[in-house]
């Protein structure tokens, strides 16, 4: 993922839509932020980030702002594998992929 993002790019690629906010509904704190980041990164790149440092600070800050969360919560996530946030049922995969 590229490291530098301007505000127009953040809005274009990382704004959370109402249906995506519904998917996040039962999550709180760092888990909510991590889940949202993984969702949008997957939509953008077709894969999950391999490590936390793969997501630029500007993206974390923008997503945290949308969720009314402190960006510092991102540091509380101890790992970023997608299995931490997503179960393997096909319904969940379809829901997250927007199908």
List pLDDT tens digits, range 11-58. Answer: 999 999 999 999 998 999 999 999 999 999 999 999 998 888 899 999
Return the structure tokens found at 24: 């996040």
| pLDDT beyond 60 at 93 | no
Rounded to the nearest 10°, the torsion over CA 93, 95, 98, 99 is: 80
Please tell me the distance from the alpha carbon of residue 3 to that of residue 30, in angstroms, as a whole number.
22
In this prediction the pTM is: 0.78
Q: For the chain, which residues make up each domain, given as ranges?
A: 7-97
């Amino acid at each position: 993922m590229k490291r530098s993002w301007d505000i127009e790019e953040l809005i274009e690629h990382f704004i959370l839509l109402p249906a995506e906010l519904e998917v996040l509904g039962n999550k709180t704190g760092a888990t909510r932020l991590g889940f949202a980041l993984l969702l949008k990164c997957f939509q953008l790149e077709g894969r999950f980030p391999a490590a936390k440092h793969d997501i630029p600070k500007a993206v974390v800050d923008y997503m945290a702002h949308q969720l009314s969360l402190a960006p510092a919560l991102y540091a509380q996530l101890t790992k970023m594998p997608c299995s931490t946030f997503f179960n393997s049922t096909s319904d969940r995969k379809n829901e997250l992929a927007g199908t």
